[in-house]
Amino acid sequence: MEGLVQGVGFRPYVYRLARELNLTGFVGNDSRGVFIEVEGPAERVAEFHRNLMEEPPPAAVIDRVMQKGMPLQQGENFVILESRATHRPKVWVSPDLHCCEQCLEEVLDPANRRYLYPFTNCTHCGPRYTLITGLPYDRPLTTMAEFEMCADCRREYEDPMDRRFHAQPIACPICGPKLCRPLEEVVDALTRGEIVALKGVGGYHLVTDATNAQSVSRLRRGKRRLTKPMAVMVANIEAARQLAQVSVFAAELLQQPARPIVLLPTLHKLPQAVAPDMKTLGVMLPYSPLHHLLFEVGKFQALVMTSGNLSGQPIASTEAEARFQMEGLAERFVDHNRPIEIPCDDSVVREFRGQPLPIRRSRGYAPFPLKVSKQLRPSLAVGAQMKSTFCLGAGRDAYLSQHLGDLDSLENLDYFTRVVAHLQSLYRLKPEYLCCDLHPDMMSTRWAEKQGLPLVRVQHHHAHLASALAEHGLEEALGIILDGTGLGEDGTIWGGEILRGSFATYERVAHLKPIPLAGGDLAVREPWRLALAHLWSAGMPWDQTLDSVQMAGMNEERFRVQLERGINCVQTSSAGRLFDAVAALCGLRQTVQYEAEAAILLENIADKNERGSYYFGDPWDAGPAVTAIFRDLGRGISPARISMRFHRGLAEHLAILAARYSDGLPIVLSGGVFQNALLTELLLNELGTLRLPVFMHRLVPPNDGGLALGQLMVGAARMENGGIPTCA
Ligand code: ZN
Ligand code: ZN
Ligand code: FE
C-alpha cells in the first residue's frame, strides 16, 4: 500500500482490525509503504479489505494498493513487524498535524500524567515533516531519537491497543523534550506586553499581546516591517468571531489539520498596528499543545504570532539562529530541546466562493504531493525568486516544498539548498534534469546552472499557465495570467498575458500594451514612477496636484527625458504594476514596503456600489483607462469609485478577450494578481455570463509560490517531445 500510510497510525489500525476479525499474518512498514499479509476464511479477509479501504485511519491517504494470493503460512496470530528500509520510498512524508482533541483533553486534565505537558502527541497527531530525518518513519529517524522513552511511554508505545502505539514522537514530562522556562513565566511576560521569541513546531515565532498597541508597534519597528500585516492566534473559533467575520467555510479552513493562517474580513477590534489599513485579518488557531496552554493559562484575547526572523532571513529554528536574528528585538527567548530537522513557516489561505485560495502553501500542507497527469522522470523545478518554493517530481507525484522566502539573501539561498537536499534524501531521488525560469539573474536560475544537469528554461507566465493546468488535470487552456513581472521570450518584461497553450507549448495571443519601466526594480518599491510612466504613455500631462508628480519633485524633467529616450528603461506589460500605478494615481501609496502593497490598498478601498467602469483599448491598452482616471481625479471623483471603475473595467475587458481567443478551450486564471478577490469576483461574473468554464487555483498559490509546479510540468512535456535541453 502506497500513499500517506506512515506516521498516521496505520499499522496499529491494521493490527486491531485483523485481531477483531480473527485473522493471522503481519503488517509492516518499509520505504515503499505498508505491507500486510492476512490469512483466514475468505469472507473475513474480504471484510478486512473492505474496512481498510472504506474507513482508513483519519489522517491516512491511500494512493495505490497492490494485492496477490500467497501460500498459507498457518500462523498463530497477527503481529507488527519491525520497519525495514529497502527501495526508493513510495510513501509520502506526512505534513505536521495539529494537536488532537484527545491529547488536548489529557493536557488539560490535572489527573493525567501529561497535565500541562507542551509536547504531548499521539499516533494521530503532532509534528511529522519538521522532525523526520529519514524514511521509513520510525523513531530512530526523527529528531526524537535522542530521547530515551521512560517505562510508561514505552508501555504505551508497545501496546497495540493504546492510542500511542508506535507514536514515534511520543513523549511525557519524565522522558520528553522540555520548555526552557516555566509556562507561567512565559504567560507573565506576554501579559506584561513583552515580545517573546518562542520556539514552536516549524521554527520560532515572535509573539506579543495583540491587544497591546505599544508592544505591537515595538515589534514592527524591531522587525523593520512597518506596514506588512501580521497574523494573530486566538484560542478557538468563538474567539475568532470576536475579531473577524467567520463564514462556515472559513471555520472549516481554520480547523483543518494544517491549521493555516486564514485571511478573514476584519471587525477592526485590534490595534491598527496589527494590520494597518487592511480589510482582512490573518487568524490562526492553536496547533501545538504549547499554544493551547498559552491561551488556557494566559486567557489572551489574541496573540500576534509572526515568523521569528528578520526580513531576508529564513525562519529561525535553532537557539543560535534565534539569538543571532532576534537579539535586541525579542525581550525573552523561550526555547525547547526538541530539535527541528527542517524549518517550516505557517501557511496562509483565504476563502473564495466557498473554496480555499492558497496564498502560501507551507506548514501542514508541504510536502504532501500533488498528483499530476504525466509520468515524471526524477526531476526538480527550482521556482522563481520571491516567494520561493521548489518542486521535486517522480512518477505521478509532484512534491511542492514549503515557502522558502526571497532568495535574494545568502541565508535564504542556503535554506533553499538545505531543503532541496533534505527532500531529495528522504525520497532518495536524484533529478535527471532541472527546470528553471528564463530569467538568468534569478538566484534560483543561477543555482540550477551550477548543478551540472540538463536544464529546461521555462518562460515565467507559461509556468503560471502550466501550474493551473497541472492542478486541474487539464491538457490545454486559455490562460488569463495577471502577474507582477517575469522575463518574456522577447527580452521585455511580461506580466499581463493572454496565453493559449499546453505544457509543451503556448502562444501569446494578447498582452497588455507595454509601457517603459524606468529604473527597473526601483519602480516596484516606488509606484509613483509607474503612475508617471502610465500617464506619459497615455499622453496625459503630469499634473502638479498629483502626489505621484510631487514625488518626482526636482527629478521630474530628468525622469521625462529618461522615458522619452528609453534610458535605463525596459518595456513591461505587467498587470501588477498597472494596479500599483492606479493606486499611486489615487494617492494611496507612492512608495511601498512589500510587493503589491499599493495594489492591496486599491482593492480595499473600492466602493462596491459604484456601477461605472473604464474602457480599455483594443486589443489591451490601459491608455484609455488611465486617461479616464486622470480626468476623474480632476473632477473630484473619489478614489473609492475610481478603484471600482478600474476593477470592473478590467474584468469586462478580460472577458471580451477570453471570449475572442478561447476557441472552446477552458479558461484558467493564474498569476499573483489573482490574490485580488474583488477582481476575481468581477471577472468570474463576466465569464459566467459568457458560459465559459473557468478554473482557478485551489491547491497551489496563484503567485510565484506555485510556479515550480508549472515549471516541472513544462519540463516534463519538453523532455517527452525529445527537446534536448541546453546543458548548463
Ligand atoms: Zn493526539
Ligand atoms: Zn515518558
Ligand atoms: Fe509570477
Domains of the chain, first to last: 2-80 (3.30.70.100), 183-352 (3.90.870.10), 369-458+701-727 (3.30.420.360), 510-696 (3.30.420.40)
538 CA distance to ligand 2 middle (Å): 71
181 CA distance to ligand 3 middle (Å): 43
> Which grid cell sits at 89?
520510498
Q: Mean pLDDT score of the chain, rounded to an integer?
A: 94
* Omega before 367 within 30 of 0, i.e. cis: yes
Q: What pLDDT score was predicted for residue 85?
A: 61
Closest ligand to the CA of 147: 2
Q: What pLDDT score was predicted for residue 725?
A: 53
Is pLDDT of 706 > 90?
Answer: yes
**Structure confidence by residue, pLDDT tens digits, 313-350:** 999 999 999 999 999 999 999 999 999 999 999 999 99
Task: Give the other-Cβ count within 10 Å of 490's Cβ.
Answer: 10
385 CA distance to ligand 3 middle (Å): 9
> Which grid cell sits at 371?
498528483
330 CA distance to ligand 1 middle (Å): 31
Closest ligand to the CA of 164: 1
Sheet of 454-458, strand order: 391-400, 370-381, 433-437, 454-458, 726-727
121 CA distance to ligand 1 middle (Å): 5
| Distance (Å, whole) CA 645 – CA 114 | 58
Closest ligand to the CA of 576: 3
**Structure confidence by residue, pLDDT tens digits, 152-183:** 999 999 998 899 998 999 999 999 999 999 99
Please check whether residue 512 is in contact with residue 574, taking contact to mean a CB–CB distance below 8 angstroms: yes
Amino acid letter, residue 560: R
DSSP 3-state of 544: coil
104 CA distance to ligand 3 middle (Å): 41
| Distance (Å, whole) CA 88 – CA 649 | 53
152 CA distance to ligand 2 middle (Å): 6
Ramachandran angles phi, psi of 621, nearest 5°: -120, 120
Band (pLDDT 50/70/90 cuts) for residue 246 is: very high
Q: What pLDDT score was predicted for residue 2?
A: 84
Predicted structure pTM score: 0.92
How many percent of the chain have pLDDT more than 70?
98
Closest ligand to the CA of 155: 2
Closest ligand to the CA of 675: 3
457-480 average pLDDT score: 98
82 CA distance to ligand 3 middle (Å): 46
Q: What pLDDT score was predicted for residue 272?
A: 95
Q: What pLDDT score was predicted for residue 55?
A: 87
149 CA distance to ligand 2 middle (Å): 5
159 CA distance to ligand 2 middle (Å): 14
292 CA distance to ligand 1 middle (Å): 13
Neighbours of ion ligand 1 (CB under 5 A): 100, 103, 122, 125
Closest ligand to the CA of 149: 2
567 CA distance to ligand 3 middle (Å): 25
Ramachandran angles phi, psi of 455, nearest 5°: -130, 125
Please check whether residue 300 is in contact with residue 294, taking contact to mean a CB–CB distance below 8 angstroms: yes
**Structure confidence by residue, pLDDT tens digits, 182-205:** 999 999 999 999 999 999 999 999
495-522 average pLDDT score: 94
451-477 average pLDDT score: 97
Q: What pLDDT score was predicted for residue 92?
A: 81
| Residue matched to cell numbers 506596514 | 227
Is pLDDT of 727 > 50?
Answer: no
308 CA distance to ligand 3 middle (Å): 26
Pairwise pLDDT comparison (92 vs 649), residue with the higher score? 649
464 CA distance to ligand 3 middle (Å): 7
Is pLDDT of 10 > 80?
Answer: yes
205-214 average pLDDT score: 98
**Structure confidence by residue, pLDDT tens digits, 376-415:** 999 999 999 999 999 999 999 999 999 999 999 999 999 9
198 CA distance to ligand 3 middle (Å): 33
Partners of 669 in the beta sheet? 480, 696
670 CA distance to ligand 3 middle (Å): 9
134 CA distance to ligand 3 middle (Å): 33
Q: What pLDDT score was predicted for residue 728?
A: 40
483 CA distance to ligand 3 middle (Å): 5
Is pLDDT of 77 > 90?
Answer: no
106 CA distance to ligand 1 middle (Å): 9
**Structure confidence by residue, pLDDT tens digits, 559-608:** 999 999 998 899 999 999 999 999 999 999 999 998 889 999 999 999 99
Closest ligand to the CA of 163: 1
146 CA distance to ligand 2 middle (Å): 13
Band (pLDDT 50/70/90 cuts) for residue 523 is: confident
Q: What pLDDT score was predicted for residue 723?
A: 61
Q: What pLDDT score was predicted for residue 195?
A: 98
Closest ligand to the CA of 463: 3
Ramachandran angles phi, psi of 404, nearest 5°: -115, 5
174 CA distance to ligand 2 middle (Å): 5
Closest ligand to the CA of 113: 2
Is pLDDT of 86 > 70?
Answer: no
155 CA distance to ligand 2 middle (Å): 9
